[in-house]
Amino acid sequence: MLCEAPNRLHWVRVRDALAAVDGWQRVCVSTAHGKELAVDTVDAERFSLVCARLDKFPALLGDMLPHEAGGLLAFWSRADRMIAIPEASSCLAGAHVEITPSVVIIEEGRNFELVAGDSSWRMRVFDARIPRPV
Mean pLDDT (the chain, rounded): 90
CA distance 43 to 123: 23
pLDDT of 6 higher than 60 = no
pLDDT in tens, 56-90: 999 999 999 999 988 999 999 999 999 999 999 99
50 near 81, Cβ under 8 Å? no
CA distance 56 to 34: 8
The phi, psi pair for 89, rounded to 5°, reads -70, -15
72 near 65, Cβ under 8 Å? yes
**Side-chain half-sphere exposure of 106, counting CA atoms within 13 A:** 12
